[in-house]
A and B are shown apart, each in its own frame.
Chain A
Amino acid sequence: MSQAIARKEAPLQQVPDHPLEDLIRSDRIPHIWCPGCGIGTAFAATLAAMKASGQDLSSTCMVSGIGCSGRAAGYVKLDSFHTTHGRAIPFATGLKLGNPRLNVVVFSGDGDLFAIGGNHFIHAARRNIPLTVICLNNLNYGMTGGQVAATTPYLARTTTTPAGNTEAPFNLPLLAWAAGASFVARWTILHIRELTDCIQKAMLKNGFAFIEVLGPCPINYGRRNKEKPLQTLKLYQEQTIIRNQADPSDLEIDFSKKVVLGEFVDKERSTCIENYDKTCRLL
């Protein structure tokens, strides 16, 4: 019916494309993500931000690791690299150092970037390698069926913590801040306008920029923790509070209290590329 309305008011040939059509590999859509999965929204926000950033898109690349979130690189119509589990950041590091004119965006999951790939994350932040790293945090390993992750809340149920998670999760912005990231923020997929503006800002930042995006995994995490996708989104709406420049140590994710969102770090620090050029290319 809506299609019909659209057609009535604008003749068929004038139906405009989706505003992000030119940035997606339409021949691969629909994507693999489940109904209600948060990855698609965060991915769309990333594309919108790329477009809005005014950066030269022909020299903009996306690098992903492995996981549901890691499939993002397969849907963007840019030079895109779907690498190995946990290794998106070191691959991106080589890409950026191999050609510093490239804008490199890493889009991957919490398990990929912070469990198997945690070491690479802290070192890239320490080096201040100019990358935009977007972590879709769905609090578990979605792709492999919902196992515990380094971000799974205390006592949450996953397939490998059937009695509840006995470990404490990472506070990702705190980790990024401590490792030296130039830009650190957190949003949810409900805060799309803020998220899109934030990714745009991060892309224009000359330094290591990290954005955590909370998004639901209704199929695995949601189901086992009795959260329907819309309930998760309500949590994002009701149980969050925006506090820019918040103290990174106050950023634990505990939806029984308020979860803090916002831009927490935005500082200037010379990048490893600038330092290398200054120090090693004296000749």
Chain B
Amino acid sequence: MTGDEACAEGALAAGCRFFGGYPITPATEIAEHMSERLPGVGGTFIQMEDEIAAMASVLGAAWAGQKSMTATSGPGFSLMMENIGLAACTETPCVVVNVQRAGPSTGLPTMGAQADMMQVRWGSHGDYEIIALAPCSAQEIFYQTITAFNLSERYRTPVFIMTDEIIGHMSEKVVIPPADQIRAEDRPKPQGRKDRFLLYKPGPNGVAPMPAAGDGYNVHVTGLTHDEKGYPVMSIEAQEQMMTRIKNKILNNLDDIIITEDHHLEDAEIVIVSYGISARTSMAAMQQARAMGWKVGFLRLVTVWPFAERQIRALAERVKAFVTVEINLGQIHLEVTRAAAGKAACHLVGHHGGAIISPDKVLAAIEEVL
């Protein structure tokens, strides 16, 4: 099964019942697979007229009570940005898959890259928080898609799966566990008096329960700055309160959200930081380095956003250097550098896009640091 198909199967296993899409290489196979599978499980697939409409339809379906998603690549991702901001502002759960290809613009449609990592974080205007996961194999795409839905439901936020052309199109063995072994989470529904319900009043984890249209709550949902009731309020205080809530529901739950994988960090002098397809390069490089007796460790960012700042900061106290490996010209590298705060050297093994990075390049960079 390809990474794209594994993504679609993961979504179905998570309970996704709406897909609004628009074809684009290398994400099209996700839409195709969903178009085949969704009607059979009581869901709906629609190919919209463009990615702006696709993203808007995903939000509409989310408010209809469905777990909903879309999948795209660079140009389509750019078109989705305004409605991604609406999702963040209105705290609408949804999952967006970006099977990255080289850009800018039309770029290399059939060749992979990891150059939308800052766009996913900051692509829509304004301040906000999102969650982005970067799986590194078809099997992991399956599981991370389920995790993405669970996180989006738990935190009422858009969650992104940042894969790339290489894993999207690569065929690998994927084991799909029986349904009863999959934990699919649903958004908490409000309880109590409907007329007193506040659409954005934070619950214990900072997130408000969310009713669906038709549940009788007469919700008002707006992308204008709003109060806890959801009503527009054009004031600096309301802006501060809303922004604080949107940021804090993520920032106060970092331990629950951030997933990283440690490899030989205990005695490492040099730590490779990587994610997605480049994690496979990094893993190979680390193993070869260890075979040569070099003290190299590897920190894999499964969750790229929110950024594993605390982990990097702690490592920076005791390691000599970080080497960030990514198929772009230094995006997460900037974050690592920021978090390391001058306590450890930070190097980039980047790529202009279109191919994976070979482990040799990583080893060469490490050798230079040693």
Contact = CB atoms under 8 A, between A and B. Distances in A.
- Determine direct contact between A and B, CB below 8 Å: yes
B260 to A, nearest CB: 34
A29 to B, nearest CB: 12
B59 A119 contact: no
B20 interface: yes
B213 A84 contact: no
Interface stretch (B38-46, B146-154, B335-343): B38-46
B64 A87 contact: no
Contacts, number: 143
B44 A97 contact: yes
Interface in B210-239: 212-214, 216-224, 231-232
A91 B56 contact: yes
Contacts of B68: 94, 98
Interface string A96-132: 1111011000000000000000011001000000000
A28 interface: yes
A58 B219 CA distance: 11
B41 to A, nearest CB: 9
Contacts of A93: 20, 46, 48, 53, 56-57, 60
A80 B229 CA distance: 13
Nearest to A98: B64
Contact of B56 (A59, A73, A94, A276): A94
Contact of B214 (A28, A58, A86): A58
B53 A120 contact: yes
A94 B46 CA distance: 9
Contacts of B222: 73-74, 81-82
B63 interface: yes
Contacts of B65: 98-99
Nearest to A122: B49
Contacts of A59: 213-214
A25 interface: yes
A101 B277 CA distance: 43
Contacts of A258: none
B12 interface: no
B219 A91 contact: no
Interface in B69-104: 82-83, 86
A8 interface: no
Interface in A62-103: 63, 73-74, 77-84, 86-87, 89-99, 101-102
Given A93-B46, A98-B63, A84 B56 contact: yes
A92 B60 contact: yes
A226 to B, nearest CB: 32
Interface in B147-193: none
A81 B221 contact: yes
Contact of A77 (B40, B45, B61, B218): B218
A83 B56 contact: yes
Q: Which of A25, A59, A81, A123 is the most central at the interface, judged by chain B CB atoms within 10 Å of its CB? A: A81
Interface residues of A, number: 39
Q: Which of B18, B57, B86, B232 is the most central at the interface, judged by chain A CB atoms within 10 Å of its CB? A: B57
Contact of A90 (B18, B40, B57, B221): B57
A123 B45 CA distance: 16
Contacts of B216: 58
Contact of A94 (B18, B40, B82, B231): B18
A91 B68 CA distance: 12
Nearest to B60: A94
Given A82-B224, A83-B86, A99-B212, A119 B50 contact: yes
Contact of A95 (B54, B61, B224, B231): B61
B214 A94 contact: no
B44 A98 contact: yes
A74 B232 contact: yes
B39 A281 contact: yes
Contacts of B220: 25, 73-74, 80-82
Nearest to B85: A84
A163 interface: no
B49 to A, nearest CB: 4
Contacts of B60: 63, 81, 90-98
A89 B214 CA distance: 18
Contacts of A87: 52-53, 56, 82-83
Contacts of A86: 52
B160 to A, nearest CB: 18
B52 A90 contact: yes
B69 to A, nearest CB: 11
30 contacts: A25-B220, A63-B60, A79-B213, A79-B218, A81-B220, A82-B222, A82-B223, A82-B224, A83-B59, A83-B86, A87-B56, A87-B82, A89-B53, A90-B20, A90-B49, A90-B54, A91-B59, A93-B56, A94-B64, A95-B60, A97-B46, A97-B60, A98-B61, A99-B65, A99-B213, A101-B214, A102-B213, A102-B214, A120-B56, A123-B53
Interface of A: 25, 27-28, 58-59, 61, 63, 73-74, 77-84, 86-87, 89-99, 101-102, 119-120, 123, 276, 280-281, 283
